[in-house]
Amino acid sequence: MALFVVRHQHAAERCPAQDPYMGAMLLNHLSRPNVRQHGVEIKGEAVVQGEHTLYFIVEAEDEGCLREFMQPFQMAGSLDIYPASTCARVVASGGCGAAMPVSDSVPALHPDEACQQAIEAGLVVHRAHPLNCETSIPALLGGVVMPNAHFYVRNHFQIPNLDPATFELKVAGLVERPLSLSLRDLHTMPSQSRIVTLECAGNGRTLFQPPIEGEKWNLGAVSTAEWTGVPLREVLDRAGVRPGALEVLFRGADGGTVEGRPGPIRFERSLPLDQAREADLLLAYAMNGEPLPIQHGYPVRLVVPGWYAVASVKWLTEIQLIDRPFTGHYQADKYWYESERDGQIVREPVMLQQVRALITEPALEQQAPRGELAIRGVAWSGAASIARVEISVGGGSWQAAHLVGERKRHSWQWWELIIRVPQPGVVTLRARATDLAGRTQPEQAEWNRLGYGNNAIQEVPVRII
């Protein structure tokens, strides 16, 4: 179906609405049953008051079909039909006259469709193509898991639209028994469910100074879900790991071209074999009790608890056992902490999530009445469960917040503190977390060239009235 904008104008003396019978006929012509019979869908209509001009936004198979439907209006005046687009499609394609991006490797979800879904879900869109959007801070309030529609989205390429009926997950390389697993095969294997917090390594990038290039993440590129799937260790055991295997390489269906690499590449990441065999890793096919949404890796994705989400490869199609360190683009060129210390360039791989607390209530610069003030939020860490969260009000001493619910190893921890603020004015709230491994948030995170792992203590100014 193509999108069109239709403009109809008529002279004042020929206004069909002046004749009640003609007006009724046109209303019946525009009724939903009649519109459907003509293979047309009216998305919106408006009459410019007093100017005898009518506009439609219409979806139709083609212009000829649309003109046939609009014939009663053409008999009363002029009819102009313009090929149209949506705002989401224009932004996703990079301009009003640009062609929509096309995936050369696999069928892909239309960028405008994916973008429109994100907008309707209330996500904060940073880029329409590839689609990247974060959860708004108010949407973080609530339960243990984030509803699928509100879970942040991170992509490097177009979103693959894989056919579950023909999907195969291949396991090859240094294995005794190469496997080709259908989605049905995975569903019949022993399954587990785990509540896991995923966070983009660039979460908080906009807070680094000086500014850093890359996706402009604020603090909402983090969400928690219950993931269900097959333990990765189960699949590796079925394939049989041969001696000499050093790493496990995971290859997604998404791909494209990147600067500095010849030709198209696929999104690939690897894990050391001993870490890949840890019990918590899942080949997930469900999210919060529903089939994995397409934007989150349908039909199957890897979930690596505790690591930044770049390790949790989406749209997983291949697992390969290799005998050397992997040097692909998203392993060797990206996702490294790169900084200068004592005149030397230091590089460390991005792996475990940094410990961090996030204030979700009250909101930034919110107004609150004098008296009791409830401060709430979440905290998480890749190294260990949260040991404590402390709050400083207006530059005062640190006060211990109450941890809400039981500690979970790989899930964020809700916390709250009720305080009294008797005087009006602007009060700055600060929150810092410490995990059971002894890691505590710093005043300022170390600046690094690619802007990863910013876990500096958050500050939220609140106006007390």
Q: Specify if 260 maps to a domain.
A: yes
Question: Strand, coil or helix: what is 185?
Answer: helix
Q: pLDDT tens across 221-235, in order?
A: 999 999 999 999 999
- Give residue 452's Cα distance to chain centre: 17
**pLDDT-above-70 percentage for the chain:** 99
Mark which of 334, 367, 387 sits at the end of a domain.
Answer: 334
- Read off the pLDDT of each residue in 40-64 and give the average, rounded to a whole number: 94
How far is Cα 321 from Cα 313, in angstroms, rounded to an integer?
16
pLDDT beyond 80 at 252: yes
Q: In the prediction, which pLDDT does 93 show?
A: 78
Which residues have a Cβ under 8 Å from the Cβ of 117 and sit 6 or more positions away?
149, 295
CB 87 within 8 A of CB 33: no
Burial group, residue 115, by CB count within 10 angstroms (0-12, 13-18, 19+): buried
Most confident of 65-74, 78-87, 188-197, 403-412: 188-197
Q: Specify if 317 maps to a domain.
A: yes
Q: Verify that 287 and 427 share a domain, yes or no.
A: no
Residue 443: give its domain's CATH number: 2.60.40.650
How far is Cα 6 from Cα 67, in angstroms, rounded to an integer?
10
- Token digits of residue 400: 């211990």
Angle at 105 between CA 101 and CA 108, to 5 degrees: 50
- Token digits of residue 392: 């400083």
- Read off the pLDDT of each residue in 21-32 and give the average, rounded to a whole number: 90
pLDDT beyond 90 at 89: no
Q: Verify that 324 and 368 share a domain, yes or no.
A: no
Q: pLDDT tens across 114-127, in order?
A: 998 999 999 999 99
Higher-scoring residue by pLDDT: 26, 276: 276
- Token digits of residue 183: 């989605």
Q: What is the band of 104 on the pLDDT scale with cuts at 50, 70, 90?
A: low
Residue 194: give its domain's CATH number: 3.90.420.10
Q: Specify if 139 maps to a domain.
A: no
How far is Cα 359 from Cα 350, in angstroms, rounded to an integer?
24
pLDDT beyond 90 at 103: no
Of 120, 124, 127, 180, nearest in space to 152 by CA: 124
Q: Name the average pLDDT for the chain.
A: 94
Q: Verify that 380 and 309 share a domain, yes or no.
A: no
Q: What are phi and psi of 258, to 5 degrees?
A: -135, 155
Q: Specify if 112 maps to a domain.
A: no
- Please give the helix or strand (H or E) that residue 83 lies within, else none: strand 78-83
pLDDT beyond 90 at 338: yes
Q: Strands 168-173 and 316-322, how do they pair? A: parallel
Number of structural domains found in the chain: 3
Q: Specify if 68 maps to a domain.
A: yes
Of 198, 260, 268, 252, nearest in space to 226 by CA: 198
CB 266 within 8 A of CB 227: no
Question: Strand, coil or helix: what is 166?
Answer: coil
Q: In the prediction, which pLDDT does 177 show?
A: 98
Starting at the edge strand found earlier in the chain, the sheet holding 367-368 runs 367-368, 458-464, 425-435, 386-393, 399-400
Q: In the prediction, which pLDDT does 341 show?
A: 86
Q: Verify that 330 and 372 share a domain, yes or no.
A: no
Q: What are phi and psi of 363, to 5 degrees?
A: -80, 165
Domain ranges, residue 255: 148-334
